[in-house]
Amino acid sequence: MLELNDPSLLKQAALVNGEWLAPGADAIQVINPADGSVVGKVPACGASETSAAIAAAKAAWPEWRARTAHERAVLVERWHALVIENLADLARIMTAEQGKPLAEAEGEIRYAASFIKWFAEEGRRVGGRNVASPERDRRILVMVEPVGVAAAITPWNFPAAMITRKCAPALAAGCPVVIKPSEFTPFCALALAELALRAGIPAGLIHVLTGMPHEIGETITSSPDVRKVSFTGSTRVGSLLMRQCADTIKRLSLELGGNAPLIVFEDADLDIAVKSAMASKFRNAGQTCVCANRIFVHAAVEQEFLARLGAQVSALNAAPGFAPGSTIGPLINQAAVDKVAAHLADALDKGGRVVAEGQGREDGQFVRPVIVAGATSKMRLASEETFGPLAPVFRFESEDEAIAMANDTPFGLASYFYTRDLARAFRVAERLEAGMVALNTGSMAMEMAPFGGIKQSGLGREGGTQGIEEYLETKAFHIGGLEL
Ligand code: SIN
């Protein structure tokens, strides 16, 4: 049994219009990936619950949009305060359902809370423009208005941050939200929604539909009352949602798959490069869309880089997220474990060599981190997202070669590179095909910076000043016949 300071935060229910719907005979079990135990059960919502949530959101919208940005921001800020107050419980819920080490889960709750605070503040700064008029008796105002009912379809790898990165800007902008969290990790979403209600956000404004994605997703995408869909997940599902949203011409934000390159040039500060590679590759056991999926190292520093990275990887410890000293939690399910094993076997078959391995468990859904040197473009790990703790190292000889290899992918989410040469820094940053480029750092996820990709990595941006614009429409207001 999960021990919480406030056990009422573990909601075994779906949330529609302020009512907690109990699970029925077809309940979905949420499994702890560390030991296969049942964390709890949630209802298998379908079309009727989804339609009820959309209808309640639509009904609640006029009153919410009529409030001032300041009034909305006060409630969103209260939500932020409650999330921080309940950080310990939220993190424990996350570790139980998602598996990540408790310290990392606490970090994610802080990260999730940062979006709530940021967008409460950004909501106050939403404003339009006054455009120079071509006529003396006319004025033109560019006004911005909330888009309407928004749907947030969120993944299991960041069960709290992906909820707040979508819902906080929606609410602050004046939109109700219908959330469909991953069926693997609904409890963080439900706890966050409970805290939003406790903060005073009206019941019609936030709904959580638990269950399998198919029916809920189809009801959301086909509804003319849902004006915006924001999705984080795979490119395959993103493209399906895009097709499903076409008939009702919805606004879409898609944060999809990546295949991030991390390039270490010969003049790099290797301490920074190694620290960054560790942070980027092994965060959340390698289960992030911005994880370094391919590490390119200049031949002149390859041996030194491998030795230093190897020393750090050997200290990683695959263990249950609640165990002291755990740095790599279990993967989310058996399919994830199988994919890493298949990528490793394929790489070894095609000439790759294991040069370092972490410690800890290798049973169940635990996978020890591993570095494979001698990686080539023929290996599956070069073109597919591994989404696990396998770090392949490719060798290169020139800047042009590194950039060509880095861009040789249909994805364009994150990329990382390491150099001390200023001219090279600009050359490479401008040539890398990605929505986010990091120089001499391994982190790029923060509330004040726009997050998102190009090519098949998606559409739109979350976070930053751009994140709230995804929930706003532009209206041109022409005022003629003015006797000035
Ligand atoms: C993701 O992997 O989907 C998001 C990662 C992040 O916010 O850093």
Residue located nearest, by CA, to atom 6 of ligand 1: 445
Where residue 233 falls (left for φ over 0; alpha for ψ -120 to 50; beta otherwise) is: left
Ligand 1 pocket test, candidate residues 115, 166, 287, 451, most atoms within 8 A of CB: 451
Would you tell me how many other CB atoms lie within 10 Å of the CB of residue 196?
29
Selected catalytic residue, list 255, 385, 399, 470: 255
Distance CA 150, CA 176 (A): 6
The CA–CA distances, whole Å, from 6 to 91, 161, 199, 484 equal 12, 21, 16, 63
Whether 255 sits among the annotated catalytic residues: the reply is yes
User: In a 10 Å sphere around its CB, with 0-12 CB exposed, 13-18 middle and 19+ buried, how is residue 477 labelled?
Assistant: exposed
Ligand 1 atom 3: the closest Cα is on which residue?
289
Give the CA-trace dihedral at 418, 421, 422, 424, to 10 degrees.
Answer: -70
Q: Are 405 and 382 in contact (CB under 8 A)?
A: no
Q: Which atom of ligand 1 is nearest to the CA of 291?
A: 2
- Closest ligand 1 atom to 445 CA: 8
Residue nearest to atom 8 of ligand 1 (CA): 445
List the catalytic residue out of 106, 289, 433, 470. 289
Residue 471 region, left (φ>0) first, then alpha (ψ -120 to 50), else beta?
Answer: alpha
Angle at 243 between CA 242 and CA 247, to 5 degrees: 105
Tell me the best of 100, 115, 157 to mutate to test the pocket of ligand 1, counting ligand atoms within 8 Å of each CB and taking the most.
157
> Alpha-carbon torsion 339, 387, 180, 43, what sign?
positive
Q: For the chain, percent helix, then strand, then coil, each to nearest 5?
A: 40, 20, 35
Instruction: Tell me how far the alpha carbon of residue 477 lies from the centroid of ligand 1, in angstroms.
Output: 38
Contact (Cβ atoms closer than 8 angstroms) between residue 102 and residue 95: yes
Q: How many whole angstroms from 387 Cα to the centroid of ligand 1? A: 12
Q: Provide CB contacts within 8 A for 243, sequence distance 6+.
A: none
- Cα of 68 from ligand 1 centre, angstroms: 31
Query: What are 139-173's pLDDT values in tens digits?
Result: 999 999 999 999 999 999 999 999 999 999 999 99
- Pair 280, 416: CB distance under 8 Å: yes
The whole-angstrom separation of Cα 467 and Cα 169 is 7
pLDDT at 172: 98
Task: Give distance in angstroms: CA of 158 to centre of ligand 1.
Answer: 7
**Nearest in space to 164 (alpha carbons), one of 258, 68, 44, 84:** 84
Place of tokens 């939403």: 126
Answer for the pair 27, 41: CB distance below 8 angstroms, yes or no.
yes
39 alpha carbon to ligand 1 midpoint, in Å? 24
Atom of ligand 1 nearest to the CA of 288: 2
For ligand 1, atom 5, the nearest C-alpha belongs to: 288
pLDDT of residue 300: 98
Ligand 1 atom closest to Cα of residue 283: 8
**Which atom of ligand 1 is least distant from the CA of 444?**
8
Kindly give the distance from the C-alpha atom of residue 289 to the centroid of ligand 1, in angstroms, as a whole number: 6
For residue 366, the tally of other CB atoms under 10 A from its CB is: 22
In Å, how far from its chain's centre is CA 368?
Answer: 24
Tell me the residue type at 157.
N
Burial string for 273-306 (b: 16+ CB within 10 Å, else e) reads: bbbbbbebbbbbbbbbbbbbbbbbbbeebbeebb
Give the position of tokens 């503040």. 121
Q: What is the pLDDT of residue 1?
A: 79
Closest CA to 337 of 113, 174, 99, 116: 99
At residue 120, the 3 state secondary structure works out as helix
Could you give the CA distance from residue 306 to residue 288 in angstroms, rounded to a whole number? 22
Give the binding-site residues of ligand 1, using a 6 Å CB cut-off: 155, 157-158, 161, 232, 288-290, 445
Three-point CA angle 191, 192, 193, nearest 5°: 90
Q: To test the ligand 1 pocket, which listed residue (162, 255, 443) has its Cβ within 8 A of the most ligand atoms?
A: 162
Catalytic site includes residue 289 = yes
Structure tokens at 215: 């029916």
| Distance from C-alpha of 137 to C-alpha of 453, rounded to nearest angstrom | 44
- Cα gap 80→5, rounded to integer Å: 18
| Per-run averaged pLDDT (10 residues), the chain, 484 residues | 95 98 97 98 98 98 98 98 98 98 98 98 96 97 98 98 98 98 98 98 98 96 98 98 98 98 98 98 98 98 98 98 98 98 98 98 98 98 98 98 98 98 98 98 96 98 98 98 93
Q: What's the 339 CA to ligand 1 centre distance in angstroms?
A: 20
Tokens of 192: 């966050």
**pLDDT score at 66:** 98
- Nearest CA residue ID for atom 7, ligand 1: 445
> What's the 168 CA to ligand 1 centre distance in angstroms?
16
Alpha carbons within 13 angstroms on the beta-carbon side of residue 379 total 29
> What are the residue ranges of helices labelled H in 246-385?
270-282, 302-314, 334-349, 380-383
Query: Residue 7: CB partners within 8 Å, gap ≥ 6?
Result: none
Give the ligand 1 atom nearest the CA of 255: 3
Q: How many CA atoms lie within 13 Å of 460's alpha carbon, on the beta-carbon side?
A: 23
* Backbone CA torsion sign across 356, 276, 94, 467: negative
